[in-house]
Structure 1
Amino acid sequence: MIETGQAAPLFTLQANNEQTISLSQYRGKNVVLYFYPKDMTPGCTTEACDFRDYHPMFAELDTVVLGISPDSVKSHDKFIAKHELPFVLLADPEHEVAEAYGVWVLKKMYGREYMGIERSTFVIDKEGNIAKVWPKVKVKGHVQEVLQFIKEELQS
């Protein structure tokens, strides 16, 4: 997994609303890059709605929120519409970006092993470096913790 202090791996991915988004276009802003396993699942919906509810506070801190999962753009469009998400979701169906960030991992559930996203969040500072990493995220209280970190550590 990418560590604090390293340059954030650059990427360009398809996003909702037929947009193409590059990480480099956000240089000069803080970026919360969160990886999640699947649209419309309970934990992922809770996490996305928490980011939605706190979105104005992130915006006040000059911070952009980007979500990434292996789901399709079409799936993201439905997820955004259903839950009125005010931020961009990026499609990483080949999990290239997830692999670059070290969050595409072997998972186990009900005795079955498979590759998938380890729910993780990265805060990228205005210079494009990793300021903080949260691996193996537990959803409850996570968004507030990310917001607090940005308030305390990245505001000058």
Structure 2
Amino acid sequence: MLNVGDKLPEFESVNQDGETVKSSDFLGKKLVIFFFPKANTPGCTAEACDINDNISLLQKEGYQIVGMSADPVSVQKKFHVKFGFQYPLIGDESKEILEKFGVWQMKNFMGREYMGVMRTTFIFDEKGICTRVIDKVKTKDAAKQILKNS
């Protein structure tokens, strides 16, 4: 998994509207990328909505926000529209970006092992250097966790 001090991995993908999104688009801006396991599930919805509800506070601190999971872009689109998110969502079905960030990992739930997305938030400075990693995300307080120490 990426650590504080690591550089923003290079990536190119499409958002919920099919628009190309590249990591280089965020250089010169503070960036929050939050990775969530699955769109439209209770915890992921709580996290994404909390961030959206506090978007003005996050933007006031200069943050650009991006959400990402392994869901198809079509699923991200429905999730985005349903809740009116004011930030882009990226679906990484290939898991290529998820692996670059180190969030595609073996998980264990009720005795069953499977590969999945570890709920993690990364914060990058204007130079694309990771300044914080939040690996114990509180879904209903995700924005507060991001804003802490900002």
**Is the shorter-chain TM-score for this pair beyond 0.5, marking a shared fold?**
yes
Contact 2:39 2:79 in 1 (8 A): yes
Q: What residue is the counterpart of 2:107 in the other structure? A: 107
Return the alpha-carbon distance in structure 1 between the equivalents of residues 115 and 48 of structure 2: 22
8 A contact 1:7–1:130 mirrored in 2: yes
**1:31-110 equivalences in 2 (<5 Å):** 31-110=31-110
Aligned residues of 2:50 and 2:140 also touching (Cα < 8 A) = no
| Match in the other structure for 1:28 | 28
Aligned amino acid, residue 7 of structure 2:
A
The answer to whether the 8 Å contact 1:66/1:88 transfers is yes
C-alpha separation in 2, matches of 1:49 and 1:141: 10
Using the alignment, how far apart are the partners of 1:36 and 1:149 within structure 2?
A: 22
- Relative distance call for 1:3 and 1:95 in structure 2 (3 A) is same
Query: Structure 1 unaligned runs (5+)?
Result: 151-156
8 Å Cα contact 1:10-1:23 kept in structure 2: yes
Give the letter for the 1:6 counterpart.
D
How much does 1:36 deviate?
0.3
On the 8 A contact 2:92/2:98 being kept in 1, the answer is yes
Taking the aligned partners of 1:129 and 1:33, their CA distance within structure 2 comes to 13
Assess if the C-alpha contact under 8 Å between 1:49 and 1:83 holds in 2.
yes
Give the distance between the partners of 1:8 and 1:136, measured in 2 at CA. 20
Q: Displacement of 1:141 after TM fit?
A: 2.0
Partner of 1:153: none
In 2, Cα distance between equivalents of 1:131 and 1:20: 25
Alignment pair present for 1:135 and 2:142: no
Contact 1:34 1:67 in 2 (8 A): yes
Which whole-Å CA distance do the structure 2 matches of 1:13 and 1:149 have between them?
Answer: 30
Task: Please state how far the C-alpha of 1:137 moved relative to its aligned partner.
Answer: 2.2
Calculate the aligned-residue CA RMSD, in Å.
1.0
TM-score normalised to the size of structure 1? 0.92
Q: Deviations over 1:93-120 (max 9, x none)?
A: 0111111111111011121110000000
Residue correspondence of structure 1 range 1-16 to structure 2 within 5 A: 1-16=1-16
Return the alpha-carbon distance in structure 2 between the equivalents of residues 135 and 96 of structure 1. Answer: 20
Determine if contact 2:120/2:133 at 8 Å carries over to the other structure.
yes
* Deviation (angstroms), 1:149: 2.8
Aligned residues between the structures: 150
Q: Say which SS state the counterpart of residue 5 (structure 1) adopts.
A: coil
Unpaired segments of 5 or more residues in structure 2? none
